[in-house]
Structure 1
Amino acid sequence: MPDSQPSQNNTQILGTFASILGLLGIFLYFTAWIYRWAYFGYFQLEITQLSFPLRSFFFVPIQVFVGNGWAFTKTIVALFLVATAIKITLWFVEPLTVAFILPLSKPFNVVTRRKKWSKIKRLLRVIAKNFHQSPPSKFIRELATLVPVSLRKDLIIVIWLLIVLFWLARTQGWDDARRDAVNETSTLPVFTYIFSQEQLVLGRNLDDVFTDPSLKYSRFIGDFTLFDYLRGREDNDPNLKEPRIWRLLIENNKIIYCFFGLDKNADKKQVPAVLAIKTDKKGQVMILAPSIPK
């Protein structure tokens, strides 16, 4: 009998530790997904079109939280603000927790299970009957009394953490994308793709860079201006007033996404046109841009 209590305590500690690790993994994955969604969304790419190994999502948050001095400063400020917001929210909803009776410290037995099930059924009845009939304030009060106090506090903490993680990941993803879109600050590699003459309608001939490929057997759907905007600009030219340097954004699912970078004086709203080249099929090229270039 005396050994049962330490064993039960160890089991509870391991269960709590496993729960914390699971929640931490969810937060890290959520942060990485939002960061990549914002980063590639800047270049008009949907993250659902790309495939990444699952393990990579658990390292991306390092860039979000401590990628540079400004990111680290935002993280510290955000933690302070979210702690304050959680405390104020808990203080605001505290009067709603007085009417709740069932504490989680009670042993889990058949009676407790029946009480919990009865509360769930009552919760469903309140939602079904009173949502459209009762005033919003009365509905919220009745709903709040059916949610356990500790669960209510956990929900508030989780919601605020998700909000601040969304904000940090989105802003950092957008900032990093803008940095990589500008030639002077880009961390993306300079790009060169060599292919056969019949493969693409865009590109320069290696022996004659001034001759455009024939368009006789080519077709297009969409806006021809995008194609005409890139045609004749397929090579790097750092000597221009606004240097033209092609960079590789990503190669994913046998598709190469590339673009030529922006000048440092380019408008903040300007986004480069991205060229998507399918490497497994000849002649298929897609051009992505937020608007038609002038």
Structure 2
Amino acid sequence: MTASPQPTPESNILGNFASVVGLFGAALFFTGWIYRWSYFYCFQLNVITLDLPVESFFIVPLQVFLGDGWTIVKSAIAFLLTSLAIYHTLWLVNSINKTIATKIYRINRLWRLSAGTRGLSLLHRFLKSWQRFNVNRYNSIKLLRSLVDEIIIVGWVLLVLFWSAYHQGIADARRDAGENSSLPAVALIAKQDNIALGRKLDDDTLRSSGKGFKAIGDLGLFTDLSNTDYNHTRISKEKFQKLQQQEGNKLTPEQLLEKSKEPRVWRLLLERGNWIYLFPALTKEEQKDPQARPPVMAIQQSQSGDQLLIISPAPSQPSK
């Protein structure tokens, strides 16, 4: 019978490289999924229902670890702390094992000195046999010890990846929901019968009344949006107070309100599966509330060409 060929150093290197690539890919996907989940959770959307491309989850971790200079510094600190945590955890487990073995050895020695009955003698022989047992002779025991070490390492890595992606996703969502958003500004123009909210292009003083539509659910949500000036301009409290201090004696209250008006900016959150997800950006006053979340509108894309979506990197400036 011929002996099986021994693996060459080249094959070991390739095998180790393939294992590292597989683990690295799994870590990237896990990080990307947690980031997307926490990001869209801030907009009250479930990432599972969005049907996002799988390959995008492998690119998202770049935002988690290399988004900006401070993010890179935090990633380096997290990597260092993770390495220290893994090292100290393995050291602690090894110390506990040695402590338990030492205590058993001492108990065995005391029982050996005081063994007078047959029962104690049998227990003494059992402990002595257990103590002399050499675990290094059995591959299954080696595998178990190696598995415990790997569980500790993987557990710490997953924990750090989870919290890094989770907090970065929330931070990016809070930023994109406000005035300093990295998402594009949009304007959606559609036929009056195809959209329940909005203003008429030929008369921007009139809001859509919602006639001809039926509703299910919390009608207060629709009423709040209809009664709030979400489609044209808003009054900036900070700008109004500043103008009031500077030119309060020169301008009438109506003029102060007119000068304090700022455009209401809408952002494009996502365009996926024939659906357009839009939301009005939070103002600076609204962003001060850590629990503030913008309402998200899901509008189905028109297939007949009677809908226009304008995407811009920055909102238009109000006419002077």
**Per the shorter chain, which TM-score range?**
0.7 to 0.9
| Cross-structure match for 1:80 | 80
CA contact (8 A) 2:28 2:61 kept: yes
The one-letter amino acid of 2:293's match is V
| Cross-structure match for 1:245 | 265
The one-letter amino acid of 2:292's match is Q
| Cross-structure match for 2:290 | 268
CA RMSD of aligned residues (A): 2.7
Residue 81 of structure 1 and its aligned partner are, at CA, apart by 1.4
Residue 233 of structure 1 and its aligned partner are, at CA, apart by 2.9
CA contact (8 A) 1:250 1:257 kept: yes
Helix, strand or coil at the partner of 2:298: strand
Structure having the higher Rg: 2
| Cross-structure match for 2:59 | 59
| Cross-structure match for 1:135 | none
Matched, 1:279 2:320: no
Residue 252 of structure 1 and its aligned partner are, at CA, apart by 1.1
| Cross-structure match for 1:168 | 164
Helix, strand or coil at the partner of 1:211: strand
Relative to structure 1, the CA distance from residue 101 to residue 172 in structure 2 (aligned partners, 3 Å threshold; closer, same or farther) is farther
Which protein has the bigger strand share?
Answer: 2
**Deviation string for 1:166-203 (max 9, x for gaps)?**
011011110010011111x1111111111111112112
Q: How many residues align?
A: 241
CA separation in 2, counterparts of 1:148 and 1:169? 31
CA separation in 2, counterparts of 1:89 and 1:169? 23
Relative to structure 1, the CA distance from residue 201 to residue 101 in structure 2 (aligned partners, 3 Å threshold; closer, same or farther) is farther
CA contact (8 A) 1:180 1:187 kept: yes
Q: Could you tell me the TM-score, scaled by structure 1's length? A: 0.74
Matched, 1:204 2:194: no
CA separation in 2, counterparts of 1:211 and 1:146? 77
CA contact (8 A) 1:236 1:246 kept: no
CA separation in 2, counterparts of 1:199 and 1:96? 70
CA separation in 2, counterparts of 1:177 and 1:38? 8
Helix, strand or coil at the partner of 1:193: strand
CA separation in 2, counterparts of 1:163 and 1:64? 14
CA contact (8 A) 1:245 1:260 kept: yes
**1:1-294 equivalent positions in 2, closer than 5 A:** 8-94=8-94, 95-96=96-97, 116=140, 148-183=144-179, 185-231=180-226, 233-237=229-233, 240-241=236-237, 243=262, 244-266=264-286, 267-280=289-302
Q: Could you tell me the TM-score, scaled by structure 2's length? A: 0.68
CA separation in 1, counterparts of 2:155 and 2:74? 19
